[in-house]
Structure 1
């Protein structure tokens, strides 16, 4: 299968975009149509012979959103989504290209903080590639004067089931040592706030997502750290 350098591909697409924007309004209307056809062909080629039509359109759509061609996305109200969690089935998480498309789309509509999660830690293995992509986007955006693109860069967190499991185990030991050492044989009464405080003291006090997008066989959090989704809406 053809190996694609996505950083160079993004740079090439941005070059096409800047060339179009440098032309006058009348010529721009004509060249936009030509440019979109060219972009569609490039994306189709990059996805390889085994890519699906949906995947190809997703790549093109995300580029059009971030470039400002799809004006309807400018009016999306995402002010209430301060932190977004994306739960992905581990089998689906192996499709790194699709995850990149999703991140690009989220960044294009203005999402600034994202937490990716899968049960088996597949996404953690792809974290380096995901981080490289975000860095390439940052460099490209620093060279543009388009108001749509002048936005805060996305911060990315990647977690798995083992992170939550280890956090709970450490918090339990922390509470055991703290309460039993001062209470002797008396059984202490522990509350949810005690666990929350223990997790925070151990460095696991990450922000709670406002919204959780689930890509999996069932509408559940698939083991996402439960203390972080007490008020999150699942979609």
Structure 2
């Protein structure tokens, strides 16, 4: 009887201690993430002039087009805006965001606002919406092209293009014709590098004709991503040996 009471008391004590540990650990993680997020937002400004040029020279290759697949994550506009600014800093000319749910495309203004708060006056962000873009000649400074892609830009665009081609006088169109037209609609070059967000590594019906040579890396989450982590991912991409299907 005494042993049963002792075991029960020990169980309650261990359970109580573990519950406190979980709460303290969760609180510390939250505070740490907030501090890191706050610091990298402001420290990046000082890094840009001194640390960044030296750091970039150590990266073997810079992708021309970075695409970010949000997966099941809800978009964090400030973190996505940071990725755009970092593309400007590292001379990545194109960045696209793929949100198969379409939420990011509906709230594109929020992303534009967050980017406008972070970019320098001489930086130029060129937004692409379908066949339209905000490109203007005569500006001085860095530039990056930005495009938001959703699932409707994948299978639906193939179906619509096939219907359009079938209604033309040239009925002898082939796969190459469809591929060429899809490339024109997409505007951007094929992504060199893709970040896949979330715990599940899935492309979520990303337009398949665009990712034939893309190197995909899992980043876990785009939320609270730091500039150092971003550079490390570029390092990892630079070390990848792309065989181009060979």
* Distance (Å, rounded) in 2 between the aligned partners of 1:70 and 1:53: 21
Asked which structure has the greater RCO (Cα within 8 Å, sep 6+), the reply is 2
Match of 2:182 in 1: 199
Larger fraction in helix: 1
* Distance (Å, rounded) in 2 between the aligned partners of 1:74 and 1:182: 49
1:135 offset after TM fit, Å?
4.4
Deviations 1:6-40 (A, max 9, x none): xxxxxxxxxxxxxxxxxxxxxxxxxxxxxxxxxxx
Match of 1:222 in 2: 204
Match of 2:162 in 1: 172
* Distance (Å, rounded) in 2 between the aligned partners of 1:155 and 1:219: 26
1:140 offset after TM fit, Å?
5.6
* Distance (Å, rounded) in 1 between the aligned partners of 2:116 and 2:156: 30
Helix, strand or coil at the partner of 1:52: helix
Q: Which moved more, 1:127-136 or 1:49-58?
A: 49-58
Deviations 1:53-83 (A, max 9, x none): 4433442454344343456424244755111
Q: 1:83·1:112 contact (CA, 8 Å) conserved in 2?
A: yes
TM-score by length of 1: 0.59
Q: Could you say what the CA RMSD is over the residues aligned between the two structures, in angstroms?
A: 3.3
Q: 1:118·1:159 contact (CA, 8 Å) conserved in 2?
A: yes
1:229 offset after TM fit, Å?
0.8
* Distance (Å, rounded) in 2 between the aligned partners of 1:78 and 1:158: 28
Unaligned runs of 5+ in 2: 1-30, 125-139, 218-246
1:205 offset after TM fit, Å?
4.8
Which of 34, 45, 66 lines up with 1:84 in the alignment? 66
* Distance (Å, rounded) in 2 between the aligned partners of 1:155 and 1:132: 16
Unaligned runs of 5+ in 1: 1-48, 143-149
* Distance (Å, rounded) in 2 between the aligned partners of 1:234 and 1:131: 26
1:141 offset after TM fit, Å?
5.3
Match of 1:103 in 2: 84
Which of 152, 160, 175 lines up with 1:162 in the alignment? 152
